Amino acid sequence: MPKQHKYLNYTTPWGVSLSGAGRGGLSSFLIHESGYQPALENWNHEGVDSPFWRLYHNPKPGCHLIFQGHQIPLNPDTFVLIPADTIFDCCGPVKACHFWLHFTVTRLVGSITKKPILLPTTPLLQTLVQAVIRTHEQPPSATRDQRVHHQSAALLHAIFADWDAPIPETMPEALLETLSLIQKAPHTNLSNPFLAERAGMGVERFIRAFRQHTGQTPAAYVLSTRLRLAGESLALTDHTIDQIAVQNGFPNRHYLSRMFTRQFGCGPAEFRERQHRRRGL
């Protein structure tokens, strides 16, 4: 007779329950790219404006960013965390010894100020970034890429642990599921009545609760999410603008273009061209 397992508790009196931390603030990362180059030529790019987050660290000094007229040095003593849609210039008067991560925060509750965040290099961060750089220097292979992914994720978690980010109040499970649905299925019907029904609330109560916990109305959050996902597709895939419009819940490319221009200051085609030009494509 098989033995029955009765140890069903998720927490103990001796540990720290993290269920609350998982229901608020920033949660989970989707890493698009991890890169390291010891001597990048002509690392000069004006008006960088990506729909994803970035983490920069230069093991050698000499290069810097410019944000709203202010110069931000990139050097071994600093990591620079750059939220999505932050516009800045990359300046490389010398060859850039440069490590970077491009990633998306898959669930963001509340708003984050769009400006670079400087974090000092701690012994832990130094150990983690050196480990992933050493892995980058190994010959290409599936095993190496898997190791780069895990090491990059560990570095991101350590960075966010050191960043004193604003922590909103814990979000109800019903609203967490709503945010997950918006992220996973932007092409579907995401009207207020539909989302309210999925959350088990009346429409007016749902809108009030959503605004209280995210700082936005459901409609504004849905639109910003759809635009962010469209921007990621423009930057990272070769799908047509018509396909991207349909995949992200826009009735046609013309409506996507109008909303995209209003949000990012340029149309989808120009945005894609900028991203490809900066990536050397």
- Is 18 a residue whose pLDDT tops 60? no
Mean pLDDT of the chain: 87
Number of domains in the chain: 2
- Give CA–CA dist 206/14, Å, rounded: 37
What is this structure's pTM? 0.76
Please report which confidence band the pLDDT of residue 196 belongs to, taking 50, 70 and 90 as the band edges: very high
- Give CA–CA dist 112/114, Å, rounded: 6
Domain contains 150: yes
Backbone angles phi, psi at 53, to 5 degrees: -80, 160
- Give CA–CA dist 68/33, Å, rounded: 26
Please report which confidence band the pLDDT of residue 207 belongs to, taking 50, 70 and 90 as the band edges: very high
Put the strands of the sheet holding 117-120 in their side by side order: 26-40, 96-108, 53-57, 78-82, 117-120
- Give CA–CA dist 190/186, Å, rounded: 8
Same domain for 81 and 182: no
pLDDT, position 5: 53
Q: Which residues pair with 206 in a beta bridge?
A: none
pLDDT digits (tens, 9 = 90+) for 141-186: 999 999 999 999 999 999 999 998 766 667 788 888 898 899 889 9
Q: Region 34-60: what's the mean pLDDT?
A: 92
Q: Region 112-126: what's the mean pLDDT?
A: 94
Same domain for 269 and 206: yes
Same domain for 158 and 40: yes
Same domain for 83 and 36: yes
**Domain of 112?**
26-162
pLDDT digits (tens, 9 = 90+) for 211-260: 988 888 999 999 989 998 998 899 888 999 999 999 999 999 999 999 99
Q: Are strands 117-120 and 78-82 parallel, antiparallel or unpaired?
A: antiparallel
The DSSP element (H or E) to which 243 belongs, if any, is: helix 241-247
Check: CB of residue 83 under 8 Å from CB of residue 228.
no
pLDDT, position 118: 97
Pairwise pLDDT comparison (273 vs 107), residue with the higher score? 273
